[in-house]
Structure 1
Amino acid sequence: MPGGHHLDGQPLVQQLRGWARELGFSQIGIAGIDLATAEPGLQAWLAAGFHGGMSYMAAHGMKRSRPAELVPGTVSVISARMDYLPRGAAEGWVAAEQAALADPGRAVVSVYARGRDYHKVLRQRLQTLAERLQQAVGPRGHRVFTDSAPVLEVELATRAGLGWRGKHTLALARDAGSMFFLGELFVDLPLPADPPASAHCGRCSACMDICPTQAIVAPYRLDARRCISYLTIEHEGAIAPELRPLIGNRIYGCDDCQLACPWNRWAQRSPLADFDERAGLGQATLLALWAWSEADFLRLTEGSAIRRIGYGRWRRNLAVALGNAWRETGDAAIAQALHAAQAGADDVVAEHIAWALAQR
């Protein structure tokens, strides 16, 4: 065997951990591929329609819980965690984020989306990790995933010892909170599995209590159709009028459940410049972003996860937030900006502008 490693031994895994740290990952763990116990929960979630318009969630059926069906030959999954809190995040970053939410004129973009598109960052670095593994043990079958295929990421991460599933359904780690991305490397290499992480939410329900739309309908059960992250990113077309006031000034994603979680006092800053804030997205006002032309949007979101929602959905989200700000502040500049944009808007955005103007 090239590299002199036993396939079921720990030396190779220890090397993998070292390589992962060099590549900017905070932690990796190894999970097996028998996820049968996760299937009833997945089936119930789909049957309840909680996936909303994400038809791809149902289209793949139980393939999500069967790694060897997704990638034939898979016998182990390397699960990787990459912290994304920007390098320059202040000690009081949670209070600063909460203050932004309380300022109607501010535009709030989820922290994870203010830097480079995480899909690109993780995929590239996981591929490099796979190449180092191949150099050590010879050619092996593998595939890299980053929120890009029917993979039960949190389930695999918890089984690999990276954390536990919080009541908000995100992965939580005692030394990192939930401000991290997950990625996976499916390999046809038998590796020793790590022990799963134990849960530490206890009786806390802070994430459930804080959710503006009450999308966390029960512990560990999220109705995506009410989730602001889903509504502002995945959902196409009009946003239900009854949910619009609850969105506040959140224009891309929502961090409320994470900001409320006491474990995020230990959230870790990323060692990578990739997740540093771009285009002033941590401080921007709604009116400043509303002034972006489509060319501005494409230029300023180049390499960002935000770009994939497109200019129309971006404008729709901003119109909702401006309507909420108009209701709260009565700032004439908001009404003027909304009126000025009506003529050139597409049908969906025009309807949201009309709604916004009717808020006062």
Structure 2
Amino acid sequence: MAEHTRLAAALRKEAARLGFAALGVCSAEAVPQAGVRLRQWLAEGCHGEMIWMEGRADERASPRGLWPAVERVIMLGTSYAPALDPLRLAGVGDTGVISVYAWNRDYHDLIKKRLKALARWLVAEAGGDVKVFVDTAPVMEKPLAAAAGLGWQGKHSNLVSREHGSWLFLGAIYTTLDLPADAPHVDRCGSCTRCQTACPTDAFPAPYRLDARRCLAYLTIENAGPIPLEFRAPMANRIYGCDDCLSVCPWNRFAQASEEPAFLPRAELTAPKLADLLALDDAAFRALFSGSAIKRIGVKRFIRNCLYAAGNSGDVALLPAVHAHLGSDDAVVADAAAWATAQLEGTA
């Protein structure tokens, strides 16, 4: 036991050296209820077009569904708390709003590199087998992080930390080692409903439950087709993701702005002009968003989002940029351009 305690302390020290802001350990069987909730959520269709979640539900429901040999899950958090107010551009019609996590480099690559380094250190110190995961794998990061003591799942369904607010990227190391488990974190949302009332599309049918089909993060990123009419105006000038429910969390007041260079905002992404973005072709889009998470949605989906934002802007100076897409060979883009034109010309 003393050796395990020594190893756990050394693990935390090494994780901090690598740049992780939080670490906790839980049993592979710590969240049996998570699988039940997942299957109910999927059965209700709340995942929308994210078919990949349905296809690997058994693996996602439990760590041992993905890797039967796992004994402990090491959950790690990296802060990306912004220095700028994510809501500062609300209503600034000619400017697009991009979710904080995409203001600079794609976090997947950075965090996975650090997870691998920590996993190698752990194997060298104590042996055992390990696997590392960042977001794209079928892992229930948020329930596991809560079970490992990093925070709790707030009413917006994301993890909330007393120290880092709602701004933690999560990663996991599955290990066959029998490490000491940390105590789960208690829920400290209390009677607060700020995240629920802040949502512009009423995407929370109840506290702690998210209907992705109504969520602007899902609609602007995962949804490939036209965004339903009822959600276009509430998009306002959001062109990639939405941080409203995260931004209003009172626990953010304790978060210190991240100093990680890879997460420091690129000036051209913190207040991008819609006219400039609507002028992007595929090559320019790829160049602007090289190394960014935005790149994966492709230029057409991104232009679609910018067209909806232009339509919401009330800025008729954007009409030439919008009209340029009326003849697009992509039906979704052309539809978005027609909608934006009608909004700006007052013919809707």
Counterpart for residue 222 of structure 1: 210
Structure 2 counterpart of 1:337:
321
Report whether the alignment pairs 1:112 with 2:134: no
Whole-angstrom CA distance in 1 between matches of 2:326 and 2:34: 48
User: Is the 8 Å Cα contact of residues 106 and 284 (structure 1) preserved in structure 2?
Assistant: yes
Residue 27 of structure 2 is aligned to residue 32 of structure 1: yes
| Correspondence 1:356 to 2:340 | yes
- Kept in 2, the 8 Å contact 1:146–1:183? The answer is yes
Deviation at 1:39, TM superposition (A): 2.4
In structure 1, what is the equivalent of residue 48 of structure 2?
52
Aligned residues with identical type, % of pairs:
44
Q: Which residue in 1 is equivalent to 2:186?
A: 198
**Is the 2:15–2:23 contact (alpha carbons within 8 Å) kept by the matching residues of 1?**
yes
Partners of 2:58 and 2:326 in 1: CA distance = 45
1:67 is aligned to 63
Q: Which residue of 2 aligns with 1:3?
A: none
Please give the per-residue CA displacement for 1:123-164, whole angstroms capped at 9, x wherever unaligned: 0100000011112123x3211111011111100000000000
Give yes or no for the alignment of 1:301 onto 2:289. yes
Counterpart code for 2:89: A
Contact 2:80 2:169 in 1 (8 A): yes
| Partner Cα distance (2:293, 2:324) in 1 | 28
Partner residue of 1:17?
Answer: 12
- Paired AA for residue 45 in structure 2: G
Q: Does 1:346 align with 2:341?
A: no
TM-score (norm 1): 0.92
- Which residue identity is paired with 1:152? M
Task: Measure, in 2, the Cα distance between the counterparts of 1:36 and 1:79.
Answer: 17
Match of 2:131, SS state, is strand
Matched, 1:129 2:125: no
CA contact (8 A) 2:195 2:246 kept: yes
CA RMSD between the two structures: 1.4
Runs of 4 or more, structure 1, over 4 Å off, are none
Cα distance per residue 1:171-223 (max 9 Å; x no partner): 00111101110000011111110000111100110000010000011010000
Q: CA deviation at 1:268?
A: 2.8
Partners of 1:134 and 1:268 lie apart in 2 by 32
Asked whether the equivalents of residues 179 and 268 of structure 1 are also in contact (C-alpha less than 8 Å), the reply is no
- Letter of the 1:43 counterpart: R
- Which residue does the alignment assign to 1:311? 299
Is the Cα contact below 8 Å between 2:81 and 2:164 reproduced in 1?
Answer: no
Secondary structure, counterpart of 2:183 in structure 1: coil
Contact 1:85 1:179 in 2 (8 A): yes
Instruction: Output the CA distance in 1 between the equivalents of 2:147 and 2:3.
Output: 18
Whether the 8 Å contact between 2:123 and 2:129 is mirrored in structure 1 is no
CA distance in 2, matches of 1:255, 1:298: 24
Structure 1 segments unaligned to the other structure (5+ residues): 1-5
How far apart in 1 are the matches of 2:111 and 2:160? 19
Structure 1 counterpart of 2:266: 278
Query: How many angstroms apart in 1 are the aligned matches of 2:56 and 2:328?
Result: 39
Contact 1:109 1:253 in 2 (8 A): yes
> Given that residues 80 and 263 in structure 2 are in contact (C-alpha distance below 8 angstroms), is that contact kept between their aligned partners in structure 1?
yes
Which residue identity lines up with residue 263 of structure 2 in the other structure? F
In 2, the alpha carbon distance for the partners of 1:247 and 1:348 equals 16
* Separation of aligned partners in 1, 2:280 and 2:236: 20
- CA distance in structure 2 between the aligned counterparts of 1:222 and 1:251, rounded to whole angstroms: 20
* Cα contact 1:279–1:300 (8 A) shared by 2: no
Q: Which residue of 1 aligns with 2:87?
A: 98
Rounded Cα–Cα distance in structure 2 between residues aligned with 1:214 and 1:8: 50
Partners of 2:110 and 2:149 in 1: CA distance: 22
User: Which residue of the other structure, out of 279, 285, 288, is the alignment partner of 1:291?
Assistant: 279
Determine the structure 1 residue equivalent to 2:196.
Answer: 208
Deviation at 1:8, TM superposition (A): 6.6
1:270 positional shift: 2.2
- CA spacing shift, 1:170–1:8, aligned 2, 3 Å: farther
- Following superposition, the deviation at residue 7 of structure 1 comes to 8.9
Cα deviation, residue 342, structure 1: 2.1
Specify the alignment match of 2:224 in structure 1.
236
